[in-house]
Amino acid sequence: MPEHNHAPQGLNRMEIADYIIADDKQLVQLALEGDDIAFEYLFNRYSEAIRRLLLHRSTSLEDTEDLLQETFIKVYINLQRYSDNYTFGQWIYTIARNTHIDFERRRQNDLSIDEKFSIPIASSPSPEDNLINIQQRSQIENYINCLPQQYQQLFSMRFLEDYSYEEIAEKLNLPMGTVKTQIHRARERMCLLIRRDEK
């Protein structure tokens, strides 16, 4: 697997104590600038609450961990869309809740059409925000390029282009079981890649 330097050159990482006491807005800014340690601390502030939320909705332990991973990736990929018109907790819960709705819709296929996955969108970005968005997109692309080649297209279709499992299976002419298995493996690898810099 090729190695990539995911942090921009010149990035100054903080001491661990600084990450712990930093507020959500500071950690979001650091994460958007390429600090994956900041993102890890930010997500971990809410991960137990999200896990309880998913379990409360009668999700199995296995499904809960899968949905927590999926929420983790969606938060990471869409972080530049976060607006401080919402608290970070509200925003991440919205993503987790809609990830669960999407999961139930795939499983039961009987939820209303207006319960599709959605994320609150920020107002028009400034030039500085646009630069950060470009950096974030480049970082995501680096991680995708670290995935085994057979997972790269599947991951992009599912998480960047928001195709359903059914649409992916149809477009790639693959069995549904293969699509689900490979996306599951791709999702696990992506989570490991994002967390790797903390080690």
- Note the residue count of the chain: 199
Amino acid at 9: Q
Of the ranges 12-16, 82-86, 180-184, the best mean pLDDT one? 180-184
Round to whole Å and give the CA distance between 65 and 114: 26
- Lowest pLDDT segment from 80-84, 111-115, 174-178: 111-115
Higher pLDDT, 30 or 162: 30
All domains in the chain, ordered by first residue: 16-146 (1.10.1740.10)
16-39 in b/e form (b: 16+ CB < 10 A) is eeebeebebeebbebbbbbbbbbb
Query: What pLDDT does 104 receive?
Result: 81
Six-digit token pair at 107?
A: 């499983």
pLDDT digits (tens, 9 = 90+) for 58-71: 668 888 888 999 99
| pLDDT of residue 116 exceeding 90 | no
- Angle of helix 36-56 versus helix 176-196 axis, rounded to 10: 130
Query: What pLDDT does 58 receive?
Result: 67
| pLDDT of residue 91 exceeding 90 | yes
Six-digit token pair at 61?
A: 């332990």
pLDDT digits (tens, 9 = 90+) for 147-192: 998 899 999 998 888 888 889 999 999 999 899 899 989 988 988 8
